[in-house]
Amino acid sequence: MIISHRHYLIILTLLFFVEWIALAIDPLYRKDWALENVLVIVAVIILIGLYRNLHLSRISYTFIFIFLCLHEIGAHYTYAEAPYDHWFQMLTGHSFSELVGWERNNFDRVIHFCYGLLLTYPVREVFLRVVNVRGFWGYFLPFVLIASSSMMYELLEWGAAELFGGDLGIAYLGTQGDVWDAHKDMALANLGALVAIIFTALLNSYHQREFAQERIDSLYIKRMESPGKNEND
């Protein structure tokens, strides 16, 4: 049985709201949970508002769904205290952190990597369908947007921590004493985006016969004169 695009999106939406409601019950820090969900609410409103005129692919909606679900886990427990190691020990009897040599809770690192890995494809799809970019720019511009938005989010975290201060600021920032936390988070988001871009490019180069030519054509200058130049200049 083939599920229609609309029904598929409804299923993802219902699954997300079930998780959202479950994790909204008794979060570790209620104020931090509320703060973490501000951008989620904004994102959901934007997606619903754009749906009538911009239908993304199932792949894009699935990637967005997975990322939001992971984020809600971090919002419930805080990113610094997500008990993934405890869950792993319950399933396997071993410590995941000890197996991989982690000395801190790296849930936040994983999610920043997933931010680039999972959201680059939806961003690329928007660039292709709205801005109509082609070739090289269809890969470079999504990467740049993910990188810049990751930087802006780190600034937002810092601003919120300064504004609210105290335990809420510490919980929201989640640096765990690492002075390079923001830099590492941005680097991992960029790495995730780079992996997504390279994989997408390789996949397209395999399936599209004119992939190389389109990439070359996209780098040609389309207009010799400056848009602000007139005949009297």
Confidence of residue 90 (pLDDT cuts 50, 70, 90): very high
User: 228 lies in a domain?
Assistant: no
User: 68 lies in a domain?
Assistant: yes
Q: How many residues in the chain?
A: 233
Mean residue pLDDT across the chain: 88
**Total tally of structural domains belonging to the chain:** 1
Query: H or E stretch including 16?
Result: helix 5-24
Q: Which residue has the higher pLDDT, 5 or 19?
A: 19
Can you give the pLDDT at residue 174?
Answer: 62
Residues 8-20 have a mean pLDDT of 96
User: 222 lies in a domain?
Assistant: no
Backbone phi, psi, residue 11, to 5°: -65, -45
**Per-residue pLDDT tens over the stretch 65-89:** 999 999 999 999 988 889 999 999 9
Orientation of helix 58-77 relative to helix 107-126, angle to 10°: 150
Can you give the pLDDT at residue 230?
Answer: 61
User: 227 lies in a domain?
Assistant: no
User: 169 lies in a domain?
Assistant: yes
**Per-residue pLDDT tens over the stretch 178-220:** 777 888 899 999 999 999 999 999 999 888 878 778 777 777 7
Cα–Cα distance measured from residue 185 to residue 189, given in angstroms and rounded to the nearest whole number:
6
Can you give the pLDDT at residue 173?
Answer: 61
User: 163 lies in a domain?
Assistant: yes
- Domain span at 179: 5-217
Cα–Cα distance measured from residue 68 to residue 185, given in angstroms and rounded to the nearest whole number:
17
Q: What DSSP state is assigned to residue 3?
A: P
Cα–Cα distance measured from residue 130 to residue 83, given in angstroms and rounded to the nearest whole number:
40
Using an 8 Å Cβ cutoff, are 100 and 106 in contact? no
Using an 8 Å Cβ cutoff, are 139 and 105 in contact? no
Cα–Cα distance measured from residue 107 to residue 81, given in angstroms and rounded to the nearest whole number:
8
User: 232 lies in a domain?
Assistant: no
User: 165 lies in a domain?
Assistant: yes
